[in-house]
Amino acid sequence: MLKSRQPPAARLPHRYEWLWEPLADDATFVLRSMFGARAVYLDGKMVLCFSAGEEPWRGVLVCTSHERQAALQTEFAALTPHPILPKWLYLPETADAFEATATKLVALARRRDPRIGITPQPRKRKKPSTKLRLKR
């Protein structure tokens, strides 16, 4: 008896895909998966991270330095340091003006606002194994 093949499952859109779509036409735009979230890179800098998990991983993380956090928080009252990743600011989906604030943050990233974006550390290369392999 032959088994019927199921068609491949359709890709479900990410909850926040509509937010990064305005950035996708930028020549330097890169979207990478990161711990179940989607990180947006522009000009090689990680600028925003969109996480659709359970709190505190449901919203937008703004990749920034501690020195630039206060300036962003002054402009966007809903931004707070992320409770687990305090080096970045967090806009929870439950914030009153989530959509408006997230849209403004995307616009700032698109304009290359210097308060947004970090240069990621280069990935460490795996060291070759020093164990000798026995030939059989």
Summarize pLDDT for 67-122 with one digit per residue, the tens: 999 999 999 999 999 999 999 999 999 999 999 999 999 999 999 999 999 998 87
**Residue 85 covered by a domain:** yes
Please name every residue paired with 60 in a beta bridge, in sequence order, or none if there are none.
50, 91
Q: What is the pTM of this model?
A: 0.79
DSSP letters along 52-102, please?
ESSTTSEEEEE---HHHHHHHHHH-TT-EE-SS-TTSEEEETTSTTHHHHH
* Domain that includes residue 45, residue range: 27-110
**Residue 70 covered by a domain:** yes
Kindly tell me if the per-residue pLDDT of 13 is higher than 90. Answer: no
**Residue 69 covered by a domain:** yes
**Residue 13 covered by a domain:** no
**Residue 116 covered by a domain:** no
**Residue 102 covered by a domain:** yes
Number of domains in the chain: 1
